[in-house]
Amino acid sequence: MKKQHDTPLQPSPAPDSPAAPSRPLLLDLCLVERRVALRTWLIYHGITEKEIGARLKVSASTVTRLLSGERRNPELIARLTELGIPRCLLGEED
């Protein structure tokens, strides 16, 4: 059985709306700067830094430094990708 921190983060369910498109929204995050793309990805999936911190058992400020690229910790970066965050959005090569 997987531990809670090993399960991928799940996006928040989208509200039901008659105006909602029948196809999923596709974002071309290659067209914007990496930090903007990462923030957009997190918002789109309804994932907060506080939630990431709880899953990794680190402070929100540590998560902020990891996501900004200010702190490079290969173990934590690997754990972020295990949670479902694309490696390319973390400033790491695939």
**pLDDT tens, residue by residue, 25-72:** 666 777 788 888 899 889 988 999 999 999 999 998 999 999 988 888
- Residue-wise pLDDT for 54-67, tens only, equals 999 999 899 999 99
Ramachandran quadrant class, 61 (left: phi over 0; alpha: psi -120 to 50; beta: rest): alpha
Q: In the chain, count of helices (H) and strands (E)?
A: 4, 0
* Domain ranges within the chain, ordered by starting residue: 49-94
Band (pLDDT 50/70/90 cuts) for residue 2 is very low
CA distances, 43 to each of 46, 48, 50 (Å):
5, 8, 13
